[in-house]
Amino acid sequence: MKRAGAVSLQQATWALPAHADTERAIDRVRALVERADGEVFVFRARPIGEEVGARLEALFIEAREDEWNEFIRECDKFDAEIAKEIAKRKFTSAEVDEEEQNLDRLRRWFRELRARDVLGAPSAAVAEVRLKSSAERLEAYVERVFEERGGS
């Protein structure tokens, strides 16, 4: 449910914001629960009152903010890893491959987060800038590895 962008309201009760992918997410969850011989009850509901609606929206945004902030921390770790390899003068093709895989993982994660951030959490823009910065840092590292290896 979290992967779909849902927030837990209480025991086994989840809420999803209404958007184009909601039905597909519910179908996936329903299939998983039914395969485990569980029961799923799905309701379409609308908050009663602006206060309840605002609280639900805040819960959705808070959940996405937590994820975006975790993503940003992972970008920081990625950047620190590249800095560490430069400091150790570890200019190998194997290291480049490893860091390219790490960046690909960050890019996939970014796409997943973007897909479920249907309300537009504020940190999404910061995360996008951080991902671009990390990609640029890797590009500079790759160039450095190329130079250090004599252009081969």
Note the pLDDT tens digit of each residue in 49-90. Answer: 899 999 999 999 999 999 999 999 999 999 999 999 999 999
Of residues 17 and 57, more confidence is placed in 57
The reported pTM is 0.84
* Neighbouring residues of 87: CB distance < 8 A, sequence distance ≥ 6: none
Q: How confident is the model at residue 20 (pLDDT cuts 50, 70, 90)?
A: confident
The pLDDT, as a whole number, for residue 96 is 96
Contact by Cβ (8 Å): 84, 31: no
CA distances from 127 to 76, 83, 119 (A): 11, 20, 15
Contact by Cβ (8 Å): 142, 93: no
